[in-house]
Structure 1
Amino acid sequence: MDLVKHTGGCHCGAVRFEVLSSPDLHVFQCNCSICTKKQNHHFIVPKNHFTLLQGSDNLTTYTFNTHVAKHTFCKTCGVQSFYTPRSNPDGYGVAPHCLDPVTVRSVTVETFCGEKWEESMQAHKSIRDMSKSATETQLTETK
């Protein structure tokens, strides 16, 4: 899979990041309680494909329920441009609408039933692997 370097950030510009991902984004639209309220559409990447360029001191985090998901947002403008998802705590969920548009070729949206989170995670065949690098996925498949 060809990866490109996307850049993006929050509304006020205090938080900036870069992320390696396909130019063709696979975005999740979740209907859990917080994703519904925030319209949190996101694509998942491995931690080592994400770099915070600026603004670590301008980030704050909200957690609830299991406290696994870390909903990180800018203290100034309130925009969540990325977060640590419960489904993939070893990666990041990145908001495609917070990317600079130059490197995005296409966006495919998949609905995820967060209202029935446990059942949906069991039924989904690939979501947990989305936060693994290609090397990690290949090693897992050969075991």
Structure 2
Amino acid sequence: MLKTYRGSCHCGAVQFEAELDLEQDSYRCNCSICRRTRFWVAVARPEGFRLLAGADMLSEYRFHSRKNQHLFCKHCGVRAFGIGNDTPIGTMYGVNIGCLEGLSEEALARIPIRCVDGLNDRWQTAPAFCAHL
């Protein structure tokens, strides 16, 4: 069930709201950037995401196909969300679950996780090894 969550980067300069269903799969990816940043993604549709503050504090990084926007706070460096423009479901906002406010450790532990093989562009397949993700 969709619920509205608030979130922010570490320093609070970037703040957002997202409509997320945390009973659905979240994602851990083994691609070069997600593996390095330990990005844990919940998916929000464009109409379910609102940037509340900090647009001017975001720095954008694009690599490989340059289609997806990896956004970071210029001050604290936290990647609170990104915009996937070329994904299997079309445009989406990838919200970093670690940046959501008001979730207990118990609630976080209940979120289902699907590992995806982004390293090899096999988004519907889990990598052979994913415990480290």
The bucket for the TM-score relative to the shorter chain is 0.7 to 0.9
Residue 14 of structure 1 contacts residue 74 of structure 1 at CA under 8 Å; is this kept in 2? yes
2:111 equivalent to 1:114:
no
Tell me, in whole angstroms, the C-alpha distance in 2 between the residues paired with 1:10 and 1:25: 23
Give the number of the structure whose residues are more often helix, by fraction: 1
Residue 25 of structure 1, CA deviation: 4.8
2:11 equivalent to 1:7:
no
RMSD between aligned residues? 1.9
1:81 match: 80
Residue 43 of structure 1, CA deviation: 1.4
Q: Deviations over 1:53-107 (max 9, x none)?
A: 0000111100011001100010000000000124255110001010003495731
Residue 27 of structure 1, CA deviation: 1.3
Residue 5 of structure 2 contacts residue 17 of structure 2 at CA under 8 Å; is this kept in 1? yes
Distance 1:89-1:77 versus aligned 2 partners, 3 A rule: farther
| TM-score of the pair, normalised by structure 2 | 0.82
Residue 10 of structure 1 contacts residue 16 of structure 1 at CA under 8 Å; is this kept in 2? yes
Residue 68 of structure 1 contacts residue 89 of structure 1 at CA under 8 Å; is this kept in 2? no
Tell me, in whole angstroms, the C-alpha distance in 1 between the residues paired with 2:90 and 2:75: 25
Distance 1:68-1:89 versus aligned 2 partners, 3 A rule: farther
1:17-96 aligned within 5 A: 17-85=16-84, 86-87=86-87, 90-96=91-97
Residue 26 of structure 1, CA deviation: 2.0
Name the count of aligned residue pairs.
Answer: 120
Which structure 1 residue ranges, 5 or more long, are not aligned? 125-143
Instruction: Look up the SS of the partner of 1:12 in the other structure.
Output: coil
Tell me, in whole angstroms, the C-alpha distance in 1 between the residues paired with 2:47 and 2:41: 17
Tell me, in whole angstroms, the C-alpha distance in 1 between the residues paired with 2:22 and 2:30: 25
1:98 match: 99
Instruction: Look up the SS of the partner of 1:57 in the other structure.
Output: helix
Residue 20 of structure 2 contacts residue 42 of structure 2 at CA under 8 Å; is this kept in 1? no
